[in-house]
Structure 1
Amino acid sequence: MDDVEAIRQLKARYCRLLDTKDWDGYRGIFADDVVIDTTGSGGEVVTGGDAFVAYVRDTLADRVTVHHCHTPEIALTSPSTATGIWAMQDLVRFADGSELTGYGHYHETYEKTGDTWRVTSSTLTRLRMDIARPEAG
């Protein structure tokens, strides 16, 4: 498999493992010193793979999520580094039945160690967030 395809599959696993709440598998997506910036959607900047997975688990464990990433723009910057921009859409359903549907982009960097690519940084930018509240009945 070529490196661009390996990065595409890495991002596919990112979405699947997050939505299925496979926290151990999800941790394997990230470098130990990853920096994740979700301030563009009301989150935080979190440094470290363990810290980020703990943050996501605490934030989303009891919520149904669906993440889709599309139309990747991946550039290999060296034999062991790359950048990527992914269009994204996500849905988060909260316990009260309200839903957030978001649209935006992930801006990421990757590093290859051996045969394995991992995310080294990710910034989530939002173009739009729609919130639907359950109808009172």
Structure 2
Amino acid sequence: MVAFYELTQAKAAYCRNLDNRDWDALAALMTDDVAFGMSESDTEPETTSGRDATLTLLQSLVVGTRTVHQVHTPEISLRGNEATVIWAAQYRTVFENGTSVTGYGHYHERWVRQGHGWKVASLHLRHLLTDVTQS
């Protein structure tokens, strides 16, 4: 139960730090060699490797936007100091021109316990549905 709590707190902090553009706090939640990818439900993701490359990609995806990322109903599998987690996810991105994107899907992640906390080692966002609204 302790690991479950710690993982849910770490993921909540990940979402909050991304939405608040707190890049240092977000970086502190990642391993040095984190792997990051996104895909549609039936395609393989293009993966970025490494913390710096992942942060650069995330920054480029949210520049000039306001975002809200929410996750819930985690499926957590623990193996010692490693966990695999699938989170149901919803996010909304609003661009400066008023266009908005709302996405639904699942994060497929691997977390490792390092030092005093959990860090994400791989993260793949698999989109199931994406709604785009033009203003």
- Do they fold alike, i.e. is TM over 0.5? yes
Q: How many matched pairs?
A: 133
Q: How does 1:18-57 map to 2 (within 5 A)?
A: 18-40=18-40, 44-57=46-59
Q: Does the 8 A contact of 1:89 with 1:103 survive in 2?
A: yes
SS at 1:52 equivalent? helix
Larger Rg: 1
Deviation (angstroms), 1:6: 0.6
Task: Read off the aligned partner of 2:118 and give its amino acid letter.
Answer: W
Residue deviations 1:9-43 (CA, integer Å, cap 9, x gap): 01000110000011111111110001111133898
Corresponding residue of 2:99: 98
Corresponding residue of 2:66: 64
In structure 1, runs of 5+ residues without a counterpart are none
Pairwise CA RMSD: 1.7
Corresponding residue of 2:6: 6
Aligned-pair identity (%): 39
Corresponding residue of 1:130: 131
Counterpart Cα distance in 2 of 1:93 and 1:46: 24
TM-score, normalised to structure 1, is: 0.91
SS at 1:97 equivalent? coil
Counterpart Cα distance in 2 of 1:63 and 1:91: 10
Q: Does the 8 A contact of 2:38 with 2:127 survive in 1?
A: no
Q: Which has the higher strand share?
A: 2
Q: Does the 8 A contact of 1:39 with 1:45 survive in 2?
A: no
Counterpart Cα distance in 2 of 1:100 and 1:70: 19
In structure 2, runs of 5+ residues without a counterpart are none
